[in-house]
Structure 1
Amino acid sequence: MGLRLKLFILTFLLSMVFSETQGRRTIEKPGPFDKSDHDVFEVLGSGGINNGALQVTPDSGGDFDLSKKSGRIMLKESFKIHDKVARVASFNTTFFINIQNRISTSSHGEGMAFVIAPDLVLPPGSEGQYLGLTNATTDGKATNRLVAIEFDTFKQDFDPNDNHIGLNINSVKSELNVSLSDSGIQLVPEVAKNFTIWIQYDGLNKILQVFMVGEKNPEPAERRPSVPVMTKKDLDIAKYVSEHSYFGFAASTGSAIELHCVLGWNLTVDEAPEDEGLMIEAKIALGVGVALLVILLAGWWIQRILYKKYKTANDPTIRGTLQSLPGTPREFRYRDLKVATDNFNEKNKLGQGGFGVVYKGLLSKESLQIAVKRFSRDNIKSKDDFLAELTIINRLRHKHLVKLLGWCYKNGKLLLVYEYMPNGSLDAHIFCGAEKETLRWDLRYQIISGVASALHYVHNEYEQKVVHRDLKASNIMLDSSFNARLGDFGLARAIENGKTSYAELEGVPGTLGYIAPECLHTGKATRESDIYGFGAVVLEVVCGQRPWTKIGGFCFLVDWVWSLHRDGRILEAVDERLRGGYVAEEAERLLLLGLACSHPNGSERPKTQAVLQIASGLLPVPYVPPFRPAFVWPSAGAVEENIDSEYTDDSTVTISH
């Protein structure tokens, strides 16, 4: 019997046996949130979705009293948490919150909670100490059918202090309390801080763990702490929550007030199976028999290993593409890269993106430090990502690009090996926090000039036109002399000769704040949209603020800088941490260049040749209007007329938040 036929028979049998086993559902809402999210969330009580966040209780906008309010914001779809034979769902959730009081630093309350609830209802009278969970009549009753993790900021008689987390089961009186002060965490600090929280529940072993870290930077932490702030063993949530339940957030204020904002949220639930699956399993077990299934599994597993080895050694797509590459880049042995990275140890992790993880390594025999990118998406997508990046970066040669050293393909594992950049990424130096000295002005200016040079090369000087499609500070690496090296070409694409566009079916990639407005309308990225991303980087480096920073009453950095330009105060945008240690003429030039590159209409943005000359002072900055122009949709005739210009080389891309 052939391998494929055996695999088909096994797959068919297994699909019958396990058709009703646990299914995984994932909700990814990294934020910012907007009105369209009302399709996903049910807003209850006094909450709302505005200012880019889930405001579980009212935000500070509007002329109304913020005290004695309660609210919930829940996912509209329910999840199967358990069934009648006590099979319980597991779940992992990560959310990014901000709790602050803008009125008083001495009095704040009451707190917020992550909640699993039986319905989309907010109990009346749930303000104050009840955290939007229960009320004076229902508190403590089993009929509440809820489990919550509270983040409590007001001390009641039954609380340990005004800065703790707790496990709440049908009541606001916690089953388990943990003071956060012991972990050096203050839920409502004097200086506003965001918190990333991970909650993991193992439905098989009945263990709940909560991890938490505070962030000064306005974005979620990428790495979970190794030690949880709270652990609860032998917690069978099936005893407390409904079979089908809802996930979300609850919060309240009392006489003392505060803001409760959720800035981003990911949730993955391995749901319990539907009950009718038991009958299917019983029928299959009687018909096939456990012994036959074990034999089939053993045979399938052995043949799978042999087939995988054969396929790996003879993959025509990978091998054929590599053999056709000019200059055939070096092939590294997997075991050498494994040793170099200490078996891809977490301590050597340099960063993580949508396509994979990058590790620091040392090839001892060559005394060579390297950066190894291991692709982590599913097998087919990883091959596409691997080949796309390799075929682009292999042919690029420029002093301001990260240099590719080679590749590795072993047992289905795909890796690219790059030159190691000892000073890491640009954003790590711009957004370094108070514990690290900020980047000097001369280095910032040098870095911007280097990125401009690299961008001009890939747009115009290379044999094909290449669009990077993900230009941002975290993708700009720094060598030992703080020279810029543009990296991460995972989204970059070359446009074929004679064509003006590259198209994908998945949408627009990149990061919000760096994506040009026309991309959100057309679903296409161009060399001019790369220029928009460059403009965002310029403002980011000069101002020391993220592109999406809310500042001066504006939602985005570019709008704030434009308002200062209008008022003749543009130098006020320069990073305060420089303390005047910059050249005013250079700073003004770069700020105006950043605004020119951020023009809402792509055809008005300068080309890379002009950008280089402006940065070096050889060319004056083009006129920047005092008010940011409105986005204007180009007419079909205008697009046709400029079909061969730099600004019409379109590439379709997918948006990644």
Structure 2
Amino acid sequence: MFMKTYAFAFLLLLCIALCASQDVEFTFNGFTGSNLMLDGVASIESNGLLRLTNNTSQKKGHAFYPSPVRFGSNTSSFSTTFVFVFVPEKSGIGGQGMAFFISPTNNLSTAMAAEYLGLFNEENEGKSTNHIFAVEFDTIQNEEYEDKNNNHVGININSLTSNQSEFAGYYDDDSGSFQNLNLMSHKTMQVWVEYESEDKEIKVTLSPVGKSKPNKPLLSYKFDLSVVLKDTMYIGFSSSTGSFPASHYVIGWSFKLNGTAPSIDLSKLPDPPRRNTKELSKVLKIVLPSVFAGFVLICVPIFIYMRRQFKYAELLEDWEVEFGPHRFSYKDLHQATNGFKEKELLGAGGFGRVYRGVLPVSKLEVAIKRVSHGSKQGMKQFIAEVVSIGRLRHRNLVQLFGYCRRRGELLLVYDYMPNGSLDQYLYSGHEKPTLNWIQRFKIIKGVAAGLLYLHEEWEQVVVHRDIKASNVLLDSELNGRLGDFGLAILYDHGTEADITNVVGTMGYLAPELTRTGKASPLTDVFAFGAFMLEVVCGRRPVEPGAQGERIVLVDLVLEHWKQGSLADIVDPQLRETFAIEEIEMVLKLSLLCSHPLPGARPTMQQVMQYLDCGKPLPDLMVSSMNYSMLAILQNEGFDSFVMSYSSQMTSISTQSVGT
């Protein structure tokens, strides 16, 4: 009896092993009746569409083939193809994207949405223990993951940073030219992902649906997947949304281990989703009976409608059509702020009034600034710059989402920062908690990193022109984010700005601005120097003194340096919490940035090296004449004297002031 039982068990295990070793092959021409494993917000709709995410923000969804696939210890070759379409809530804007992936587990409950694509989280991002291979279709540019743009395809190994990526598109077989594809265009596309175990090569090919597979792949990457994939793995799709939601659909899918994936029968696929689908029949069932209810019942809704239209009427000109994806409706902004109620007011001043709001559909928390304007000649250029700035992506910049124009006012929509502006922490007494030196130094470095991105790392040069503590906002973790780009200008690298009007705030204006009016990255560096002094000293750059005189902070710090008493100028609230060497380095760097001569100032790249990498500061010349006097002489036309005088200044060694 024992031998029979043993023999039966052996045969059963042998059968399982044989089944497991068989090559896996399947085809889904739509997903009606499929037994895919789903989690998060993923669902299969009645018409057979696999919907990974819906129009809600900060969500994730997964769909797994129900059985694990045995790739073997040396990772077998495989091939897969699928048809997909992305449908943004707002035309052209949505995220974060989708990925085909292979994972050792079908439990990704700890993975995060937004930029993590539902695959990783803050703790495991980039770790080899993930054993995850993915092909991402990314619609948001994240600088920290070295994304090429907000419309790219990437091959990812255990990380959100792609091993190889390219702009979304395909190579035309006839001309050989590259054809761009917009992942957020609501156009259906097909993808082929192939791995050849013998050549250790991964290929990814993309094309519009219905077009035969291009001969040249979009991506071709040599990599041995056997060092990543385990013997048995799960395959499927992952997607996530961020601040701007979108729906991510897979319409058909086929896969084969050790062979070419079967062709998808496009004629059998369910129809792709429509834009803003509405059930017209239901509307007619309600409207048509009301017609017979009488003339009055018809006129009343029409009157109410016309009244609402007037209430939410916007100013929209033909040239604004191209900026459509960045334009918000006034109705949405009105609802987001509960009618711009006083209780939602965050601040007010000469710049306008800022309100907190929650957008009605996405539930995104935003800050909305209302600024008066006239429909003047420069408005088109200004809106174009607003839209361009809205494409900036950096963790130390407040994101500008878009705008709205209505009846003589401009409304700018920003990401909401829960901890308000930095100046509230520096000057509001006991209303806000005191920031210690570690927090302040982190804020300084964050703003510096944001400025480096604006000046040198983005596709154009962006000069902010209004750097100050009140324009630095703090997120939930007290990270400093530079905001308020209302005065910013943009121009191409290798050229100069052609704007010559003087704008900004007294105390932060570089002396050459009053003569030429020309802003440049070095005028931003000057303002950043004043900002650093503000953060370290807890004082404004220019303060009223006795008998109507002005106290200029940079001259006060310079005087303390001459006397060897830099520690005395530090914010009294920091006296017990800072390292003297570090804080003196920041003060000296502030003076270097605030130098009246532009050529003596460092670039933001050099500033980051001083702050982040410990690069030693150059010896700064100190004399009996203060910076304000040198600036005045320069502006009065004594340039040659200023240059000569500066060259004769005595170099004070860093040892004499304690560094």
Report which of the two structures shows the higher radius of gyration computed on alpha carbons.
Answer: 2
Report the TM range for the smaller structure's normalisation.
0.3 to 0.5
**TM-score when normalising by structure 2:** 0.46
**TM-score when normalising by structure 1:** 0.46
